[in-house]
Amino acid sequence: MSISGSGAPDSSANGVCVPVSGVPDGGAHNESESATLPVLDLDVLHDLEEDMGSTGVAHSFARDYIRIWDKRRTYLESSIEDDDAEAAMDAVLSLKNSAMMVGAARLAQLAVNLERLVKSGDLPAVRRLLPFVALTGEQTVCSLEQGYLPPEA
């Protein structure tokens, strides 16, 4: 699965979610690099649907991703707040792998950058990027809800 995706740089899956403007400053080029990617690469989810032979598993995966987004974000934030590099790496890897699997291209690239920063011991840089992680995660959730998942009956 590729995280490169397609789509306009500042668009979500359907263009109605929060725009990337107003991104917090402080992560050098990290946020601008990931901001060039689409929030959601629907091709990844369509590949999952095809691999599973139905949309049900992919929809369930997307709903589970949405349901535990806040837990992933909070785990990352608390590990950085506690200056716990080991927990931060665990949180970043969880964020990266789940983002790649759900087609969250922008968030996955940001997580790759966070992983590099944690490996180098630069937790202050990770801390500066946390507002962008939260914003990008919320954009991803919005894109999944409004641009991929069918309306709840």
Tens digit of pLDDT for each residue in 108-150? 999 999 999 999 999 999 999 999 999 999 999 999 999 999 9
pLDDT at 2: 37
pLDDT at 32: 60
Is pLDDT of 15 > 90? no
pLDDT at 152: 80
Query: Each residue of 23-70: pLDDT tens digit?
Result: 444 444 445 667 789 999 999 999 999 999 999 999 999 999 999 999
Within 10 A of 146 (CB to CB), how many other CB atoms are there?
16
pLDDT at 93: 98
What is the chain's percent helix, strand, coil content, to nearest 5? 65, 0, 35
Only one residue has tokens 């629907």, namely 42
More confident: 20 or 97: 97
Q: What is the mean pLDDT of residues 97-113?
A: 97
Q: Decide: 4 and 87 in contact? Cβ < 8 Å.
A: no
**61 contacts: CB under 8 Å, gap ≥ 6:** 48, 101, 102
Is pLDDT of 10 > 50? no
pLDDT at 35: 77
Separation of CA 10 from chain center: 14
